[in-house]
Every structure is written in structure tokens, then in C-alpha cells.
Structure 1
Amino acid sequence: MLSKELIDQLSNFTLLYVEDEEGIRNNIFEIFQDVFKEIHLAKNGEEAYKIYTEQKPDLIITDIRMPKMDGIELIEKIRQTNSKVRVIIFSAYTDLDYMLKAAELHLVKYIIKPVNEEKLVDALESFLNSYEGTKIYTLIPQWLFDEGRSTIKGPEEEFILTKKETKFLKLLLKKHRIITYEEMENLIWTHEHIMTQNALRLFIKNFRKKLPPNILKNVQGIGYQLVI
């Protein structure tokens, strides 16, 4: 069984699982349906690529030999535009040519079938460990702030933060207190710009649209703080 700690961590991420054998596909879905925030299933590489472009999952787990487009071709195609999405390969094949090609695709893991619990846990832990060195914060359940990419990912949408918004959110998270108007002017606004009331009002209005509802609190006459 997956540990509660592992499940809690994985619940922030979305998965695309690609497998042409229906029985295996359904079994893995049953294991993962209460683990990941969202799961997308595909029966071949062609279908998987379409889902990938629409859903942008955090993790892709794929077989290699499949009809229409195999797993290697799928990942090669994705890697043309995305070098960072995490990929795990489950494969029954130990063919050296496949493994050499796979090694060039920056995988999290290449797992030889059959996949048992130990291999599965090891692969998922490797996926989580691949984020080490990048700061990812859970604002509230299903809302993540990725400091390295300057994005906030919610249940339905991902938001790209401006430089000012990223600085402000980092400040709010790291100080764990009210950030005063004076601090905002000195640390977030550059010397070339003055933090007018209108500029601040517009900044906060746009920033709130990218946050979970009601977590940014205005402390009248002082500044702002996060309520999380």
C-alpha cells in the first residue's frame, strides 16, 4: 500500500497513463484514482499526445510498444516543446536499443514489467524527488505555487505570474506575516516607478484573480497578508 504521506504529496499532481492493454490500464486506474488530483487514460501514443496537449499533466507514465505511436515516439514528440514534464516508462522490453533511446529522453524511471508495489513506490518517490531544488508551495489543497516557473496552478487553470506578483507572493509566504505598504514599495516596486494608490489597486486586483479565493487579506492601513 502507498503511504499516507506519499498519497498526500501526489494528490497535488495530475497524471496521464498510457497503456494499450485494457486490463492493465483499468488496474492501474483503480490504484491511482484516489491518489492523483486527476488521471487521464490513453490506449496509444497518438491518443496520449492529444490528451497531453489539452491537459498538460504533471506526470506521464507510458508503455513502449503500442499501436499508432509507441511510447518512445510519444515522448520524443513531447520533448520537442517540453523538456520538463516528468516521464516514467513501464515496459516489458529490456531491448538495449529501446533502453538507449529512452535514456536520451530524461526519464524519471524506466521500470521493467511486471510492476510490483515496490517498483511502483520507488518510481513515484523518484517523481517527487525530481522536484527537489525547486520550490513548490501548497497554498491550499489543489493550489500550487511553483516558484521556479512563476506559476500558480489551480484545479481548473494555471496562471502565469508577473515579476512583481512572484516577488510579492514569495515575500508573503516566507515572512508569514503582514507585508506593509512600505515594504511593498521598497521591495517590489522598482526605483523607476512610484507605487501610487491606483497602481497598487490594479496590481492587487489582478493578483487576486490568480489566487485561491479569499486567501489574500487586506489589513486596513497597514498592508497585506495570506490567510492559509
Structure 2
Amino acid sequence: MNNQLKKLKVFTILYVEDDSGIRENFKEILKHYFKDVFVAKSSKEAYQSYIKQKPDLLITDIKMENMSGIDLIKKIRQTDKNIKIIITSAYTNLDYLLVAAELNLIKYIVKPITNAKLFEAFDSFLKSNSDETIHILKDNWYFNSKKSIISNEIEEFILTKKEILFLELLLSKKSVISYEEIFNHICDDNLIMSQNAMRQFIKNLRKKLPLNYLKNIQGVGYYIDV
């Protein structure tokens, strides 16, 4: 998996497909890329899963019994303008394309779904999420500055405002950051952080980072092990 696709590991996805064989096959594929994968066999089931799970990405077939993928998206869009949506369809009917264009989709994939089409759609999804906010710290460790979390395959850690500022500074420079730079970057003008407070701050942050990721040069400052 290339570094770009590794960034998908911080996101959740809901995949809707009424064909059980296709649905299960794609579920296994998607599990390699996404943090959590939810599946549904109908639009009704998909909407219930959407309400419960609040996925980051929805991939839905356009043609299903009872409620179509288009109707599902319209229902979701009544209250949610932000969820990213990809439609899959065997149809290239102009009417479908025009309706889909009004629903703020990031991709319309015409079946059969190939790896190239799927990865192109994933790339569009990452770009639509401002993928520069997703940073790979180490294997299976991710920093999502937009959501203020660090996550691995087991845990999620919520970051404080100062921790986010400090980590963004480290990642942007990728060199030793002096104590003075740290103080100036994370402290308000009217607030002074003591050396003891700084040590406690670093201690707390290290608990949320990969082991030995944050390094210290005594008397100089901190850097990250890249």
C-alpha cells in the first residue's frame, strides 16, 4: 500500500450493494484500506447504518429495490452536506449523471469496478478531505489534525490545542525544535510555561505517540524520529 492510500486508515466507510457476492468481496478489499468498514444490502439498511455509524465515506450502488441509491443520497443530503459520497452503477444514462451531479458526489464509477477506478476514487476522496491534514507518523500510526486525534489500529488519542500546535511544528520542520521555538509557538503571549510544565506536557504527549517517536537533545530541544 503506498503512502497516499495509507491515509485511508483514519477513515470509516459504508458500502451499499444488494448483490451479496459483490458486497462480501468488496468488504474484504475495503478492510485492507479503511479503519472500519460497514456494509448494507439495501438503502433502508444503509440509512440506518449511516445514522448509527456516521461514516466518513459512503459508496452506494445506484439501482436497488424499494429505495434507489439516488434516493438514499437525497435523504442523507437533507441533513448532511459534508459526508463524501461515491456512486457505482452499470448505467451511463444521462439522466442519472445529471441527477448525480446535483448531489455533490466526489466520484461516479461505472461498473465493472477495477482497481484503477477504485484507487482513483479513493484519491479523490482524500483530496476532498484536505489530505494534507492526515500525517503518517509510523507504520499504522496516524495524526489527523482536522479531527485532533492520533490513532493506531487499537486506540485513538484526543489531542489538546497545545499538543496539536507542537506536533504540527515538528512535522513541518522535521528538524530539532529549540525550547524557545516551542514556547513561542504553543504559548499565548500572556502565558509563560515553566520548565516543569514543559516536561509534564512532553510526558503526556509521549503517551499518545509511537514508542520513541519524540526525541530530546538535552539543552537544545526536541525532534521526531522519521
TM-score class normalised by the smaller sequence:
0.7 to 0.9
| Residue number in structure 1 paired with 2:102 | 104
The SS at the match of 1:193 is coil
With normalisation by structure 1, the TM-score equals 0.76
Sequence identity, in percent?
Answer: 52
With normalisation by structure 2, the TM-score equals 0.76
1:5 maps onto 2:2 in alignment? yes
* 8 Å Cα contact 1:37-1:142 kept in structure 2: no
Letter in structure 2 aligned against 1:181: Y
Deviation of 1:90 after TM superposition, in Å, equals 0.5
Deviation of 1:64 after TM superposition, in Å, equals 2.6
The SS at the match of 1:134 is helix
Letter in structure 2 aligned against 1:215: Y
Matches of 1:114 and 1:167, distance apart in 2: 44
| Residue number in structure 1 paired with 2:122 | 124
Deviation of 1:62 after TM superposition, in Å, equals 1.0
| Residue number in structure 2 paired with 1:86 | 84
Deviation of 1:160 after TM superposition, in Å, equals 4.5
| Residue number in structure 2 paired with 1:59 | 57
**In the superposition, relative to structure 1, how do residues 141 and 15 fare at CA in structure 2: closer, same or farther (>3 Å)?**
farther
* Runs (5+) with no aligned partner, structure 2: none
* 8 Å Cα contact 1:7-1:35 kept in structure 2: no
| Residue number in structure 2 paired with 1:166 | 164
Equivalenced residues, count: 225
For residues 156-177 of structure 1, give each alpha carbon's deviation from its aligned partner in whole angstroms, at most 9, with x where no partner exists: 4554433322211111112223
Per mean C-alpha deviation after superposition, the further-off stretch among 161-170 and 215-224 is 215-224
> Which residues of 2 match residues 1-228 of structure 1 at below 5 A?
4-5=1-2, 8-9=5-6, 12=9, 13-67=11-65, 70-79=68-77, 82-94=80-92, 96=94, 98-131=96-129, 134-228=132-226
**In the superposition, relative to structure 1, how do residues 181 and 137 fare at CA in structure 2: closer, same or farther (>3 Å)?**
same
**In the superposition, relative to structure 1, how do residues 206 and 69 fare at CA in structure 2: closer, same or farther (>3 Å)?**
farther
Deviation of 1:63 after TM superposition, in Å, equals 1.2
Deviation of 1:182 after TM superposition, in Å, equals 1.8
Letter in structure 1 aligned against 2:144: D
* 8 Å Cα contact 1:168-1:184 kept in structure 2: yes
* 8 Å Cα contact 1:134-1:148 kept in structure 2: no
Considering only aligned residues, what root-mean-square deviation do their CA atoms show, in Å?
3.3
The SS at the match of 2:168 is helix
Matches of 2:185 and 2:39, distance apart in 1: 45
For residues 100-120 of structure 1, give each alpha carbon's deviation from its aligned partner in whole angstroms, at most 9, with x where no partner exists: 442233211112333344433
Deviation of 1:20 after TM superposition, in Å, equals 1.4
For residues 5-30 of structure 1, give each alpha carbon's deviation from its aligned partner in whole angstroms, at most 9, with x where no partner exists: 38854663543211111122123234
Deviation of 1:52 after TM superposition, in Å, equals 3.8
